[in-house]
């Protein structure tokens, strides 16, 4: 873990919040979009990772691009129900998601909330009084890491559990994540240290 995220005694410093992308981080991504709960598959270790963050009293905020809404592939109420079910299962496993923010717009809409734009993180900052320099963004795509950089997050973690390798695009953009790890469980271990890591 970077020295900037450690206390003077060397222990991990607790961030004010952790931002998580959804598809490719919490659940398996799909090239055809995840448009129904029947298609939602948790990635190994993701539930335990969220539970570990909750146990460490670190708020978890999901920020997810969902252009399938604008494309007419999923109804807004279906997405809301999917997130309700996600929250229920997370709670059943001992975790908590403080908020799930999503961008429903098409990439061509030019909105300020679709990652890599920082709109969702700024909304969370306003809603919860966060200092974004004291937060960490975790995602599997270049847009996630670029969003974290653009918003001024104190740290960014690229996970390699998504369907694409984001490193070439990040290299073209000249953006380097602070850490690159296998999956959300490894990211949480990076944040909490070995003793707070998920089982």
Q: Give phi and psi for 125, each to the nearest 5.
A: -60, -45
DSSP 101-144: EEE---GGG--SSSTTS-HHHHHHHHHHT--GGGEEEEESSHHH
Residue 198 banded pLDDT, cuts 50, 70, 90: confident
Under a CB-based contact definition with an 8 Å cutoff, are residues 103 and 114 in contact? yes
At 131-176, the pLDDT tens digits run: 999 999 999 999 999 999 999 999 999 999 999 999 999 999 999 9
> Using CA atoms, how far apart are residues 50 and 43, in angstroms rounded to an integer?
12
Domain enclosing residue 169, as ranges: 3-196
Give the position of tokens 């494309």.
71
- Local structure of residue 73 (DSSP, 8 states): S
Task: Calculate the CA 57 to chain-centre distance.
Answer: 17
In this prediction the pTM is: 0.94
Instruction: Please enumerate in sequence order all residues whose Cβ is within 8 A of that of 192, keeping only pairs 6 or more positions apart, or say none.
Output: 12, 52, 53, 56
At 34-77, the pLDDT tens digits run: 999 999 999 999 999 999 999 999 999 999 999 999 999 999 99
> Residue 185 sits in a domain of what CATH number?
3.40.50.1000
What's the number of domains the chain is made of? 1
Exposure pattern of 175-190 as b/e (b: 16+ CB <10 Å)?
Answer: bebbbbbebbbbbbbb
Residues taking part in catalysis: 21, 23
């Amino acid at each position: 873990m970077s020295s900037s995220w450690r206390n003077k005694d060397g222990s991990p410093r607790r961030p004010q919040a952790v931002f998580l992308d959804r598809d490719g981080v919490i659940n398996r991504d799909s090239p055809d979009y995840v448009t129904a709960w029947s298609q939602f598959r948790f990635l190994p270790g993701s539930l335990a990772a969220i539970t570990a963050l909750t146990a460490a009293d670190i708020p978890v905020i999901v920020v997810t691009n969902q252009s399938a809404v604008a494309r007419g592939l999923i109804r807004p109420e279906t997405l809301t129900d999917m997130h309700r079910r996600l929250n229920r299962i997370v709670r059943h496993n001992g975790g908590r998601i403080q908020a799930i923010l999503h961008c429903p717009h098409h990439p061509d809409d030019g909105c300020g909330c679709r990652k890599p734009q920082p709109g969702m993180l700024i909304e969370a900052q306003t809603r919860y009084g966060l200092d974004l320099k004291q937060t960490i963004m975790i995602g599997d795509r270049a847009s996630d890491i670029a969003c974290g950089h653009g918003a001024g997050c104190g740290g960014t973690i690229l996970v390699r559990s998504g369907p694409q390798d984001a490193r070439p695009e990040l290299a073209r953009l000249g953006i380097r994540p602070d850490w690159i790890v296998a999956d959300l469980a490894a990211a949480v271990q990076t944040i909490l240290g070995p003793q707070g890591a998920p089982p």
